[in-house]
């Protein structure tokens, strides 16, 4: 009887272990997510389709650098081939429904469609805008795009955003840093089909330039901002201030999340903009930063948990012009008031020299 009971117990335990293992496998399966990025199209007659594709490739690379390890990014090369096999098109504007269908065929949980709306150079002397392909001498490059994050199961757009970023020739070292990053093949790119990825040479070649410049940097900044919004929409996670120490802050984003030395980040809270900081020591999962310059907010008001987001110098200057930086925080005011009250009480408790 005891032997039978022992055998039954062993069988029950083995079945339970097997069920738990299968459950873990199922959880792991659902944790694995694929995001497809369709070929970006041109939203203006002034842009070559090839230039829009380059912007989309930079965005794909930035997204692959920003997503967690359980997310794989599928480039437009694989999507275009699958669409062609099923007699569908990925060129031009693609409806949410068709994009979702292509995404399902590719095994993607989400798919992103994008349109490049702006790609310009601007001269400092005249302020006149020139399209990048004209090859004019410039001081500012602008890149803009609209993207849609589509749920392939429902065909609904979970996120629809438009953004613009600018870069200048002033910070040449930052442009070089960006060029080096663009030459890195992300770990989370699907390699089932050959996927064209940007490199500093390819980006420059599309604009007839021999060295990495601000055109690549403007696309890099734009793509960093858009990819961060996508990651937040899917995972609910975003970078924050992890610590504050004197004239420096540490941010919870590093090279694994797409950060590069020289980048500007905006620190903000529900109360408003707090400061503009520049990354100076980017590590794998965190970065140290300092106040960009005097007048760009107060680092002393930053707290752990404050959100951060990539920005550019033009957006930062607009914050100063529009006076969007806060000058005090509610908690800090209460703390200061409490400190003053304690000092006042302390003075009252001290005896006067004239008392006997």
pLDDT band at 183 (very low <50, low <70, confident <90, very high): low
Q: Quick one: what percent of the chain has pLDDT higher than 90?
A: 43
Residue 64 has pLDDT above 60, yes or no: yes
The confidence score (pLDDT) of residue 186 equals 60
- Average pLDDT of the residues of the chain: 77
Reported in sequence order, the residue ranges of 178-315 that DSSP labels E, i.e. its strands, are 241-245, 248-251, 264-269, 272-282, 287-291, 307-311
The confidence score (pLDDT) of residue 200 equals 55
Residue 134 has pLDDT above 70, yes or no: no
Tokens of 142: 């602008």
Tell me what percent of the chain is helix, strand and coil, each rounded to the nearest 5. Answer: 40, 25, 35
Average of per-residue pLDDT across 312-336: 81
The confidence score (pLDDT) of residue 173 equals 66
Residue 111 has pLDDT above 90, yes or no: yes
pLDDT band at 258 (very low <50, low <70, confident <90, very high): confident
Domain ranges for the chain: 31-235, 241-327
Q: What are phi and psi of 245, to 5 degrees?
A: -140, 100
pLDDT band at 35 (very low <50, low <70, confident <90, very high): very high
Q: Quick one: what percent of the chain has pLDDT higher than 70?
A: 67
Residue 313 has pLDDT above 80, yes or no: yes
The confidence score (pLDDT) of residue 23 equals 41
Tokens of 129: 């805008």
Residue 226 has pLDDT above 50, yes or no: yes
Residue 25 has pLDDT above 60, yes or no: no
Torsion of CA 43, 45, 50, 53, to 10 degrees: 0
- Residues ≥6 apart with Cβ < 8 Å to 144: 116, 117, 118, 119, 162, 163, 164, 165, 222
Average of per-residue pLDDT across 214-230: 89
- CA angle 348/353/356 to nearest 5° reads 100
d(CA 21, CA 226): 38
Contact 278, 262 (CB under 8 A): yes
The mean-pLDDT minimum among 67-81, 147-161, 220-234 falls in 67-81
Residue 4 has pLDDT above 80, yes or no: no
Q: What are phi and psi of 258, to 5 degrees?
A: 100, 5
The confidence score (pLDDT) of residue 61 equals 86
pLDDT band at 164 (very low <50, low <70, confident <90, very high): very high
The confidence score (pLDDT) of residue 47 equals 81
The mean-pLDDT minimum among 89-93, 162-166, 235-239, 313-317 falls in 89-93
Reported in sequence order, the residue ranges of 83-128 that DSSP labels E, i.e. its strands, are 110-122
Determine the topology of domain 31-235 in CATH. Answer: Rossmann fold (3.40.50)
The confidence score (pLDDT) of residue 240 equals 97
Determine the topology of domain 241-327 in CATH. Answer: Thrombin, subunit H (2.40.10)
Q: Supply the pTM of this predicted model.
A: 0.76
pLDDT band at 253 (very low <50, low <70, confident <90, very high): very high
Residue 105 has pLDDT above 50, yes or no: yes
The mean-pLDDT minimum among 85-99, 120-134, 270-284, 317-331 falls in 120-134
Average of per-residue pLDDT across 331-338: 50
d(CA 140, CA 130): 10
Average of per-residue pLDDT across 202-217: 58
Residue of 298 and 16 predicted with greater confidence:
298
Residue 352 has pLDDT above 50, yes or no: no
């Amino acid at each position: 009887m005891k032997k039978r009971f022992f055998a039954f117990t062993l069988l029950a335990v083995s079945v339970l272990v097997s069920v738990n293992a299968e459950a873990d496998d199922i959880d792991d399966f659902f944790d694995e997510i694929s995001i497809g990025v369709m070929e970006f199209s041109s939203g203006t007659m002034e842009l070559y389709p090839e230039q829009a594709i380059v912007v989309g490739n930079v965005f794909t690379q930035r997204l692959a650098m920003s997503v967690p390890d359980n997310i794989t990014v599928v480039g437009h090369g694989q999507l275009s081939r699958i669409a062609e096999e099923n007699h569908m098109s990925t060129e031009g504007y693609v409806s949410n429904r068709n994009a979702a269908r292509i995404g399902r065929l590719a095994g993607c949980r989400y798919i992103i469609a994008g349109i490049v709306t702006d790609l310009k150079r601007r001269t400092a002397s005249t302020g006149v805008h020139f399209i990048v392909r004209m090859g004019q001498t410039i001081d500012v490059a602008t890149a803009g795009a609209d993207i849609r994050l589509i749920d392939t199961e429902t065909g609904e757009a979970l996120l629809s955003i438009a953004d613009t970023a600018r870069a200048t020739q002033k910070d040449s070292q930052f442009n070089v840093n960006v060029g080096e990053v663009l030459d890195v093949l992300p770990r989370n790119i699907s390699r089932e089909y050959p996927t064209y990825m940007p490199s500093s040479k390819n980006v420059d070649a599309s604009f007839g330039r021999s060295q990495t410049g601000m055109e690549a940097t403007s696309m890099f900044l734009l793509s960093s901002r858009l990819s961060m919004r996508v990651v937040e929409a899917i995972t609910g996670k975003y970078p924050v201030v992890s610590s504050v120490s004197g004239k420096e802050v540490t941010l919870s984003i590093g090279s694994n999340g797409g950060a590069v030395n020289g980048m500007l980040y905006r620190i903000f809270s529900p109360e408003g903009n707090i400061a503009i900081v520049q990354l100076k020591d980017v590590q794998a999962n965190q970065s140290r930063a300092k106040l960009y310059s005097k007048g760009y907010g107060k680092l002393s008001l930053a707290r752990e948990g404050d959100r951060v987001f990539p920005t550019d110098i033009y957006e930062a200057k607009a914050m100063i012009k529009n006076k969007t930086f806060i000058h005090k925080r509610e908690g800090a005011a209460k703390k200061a008031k409490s400190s003053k009250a304690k000092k006042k009480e302390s003075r009252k408790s001290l005896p006067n020299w004239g008392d006997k």
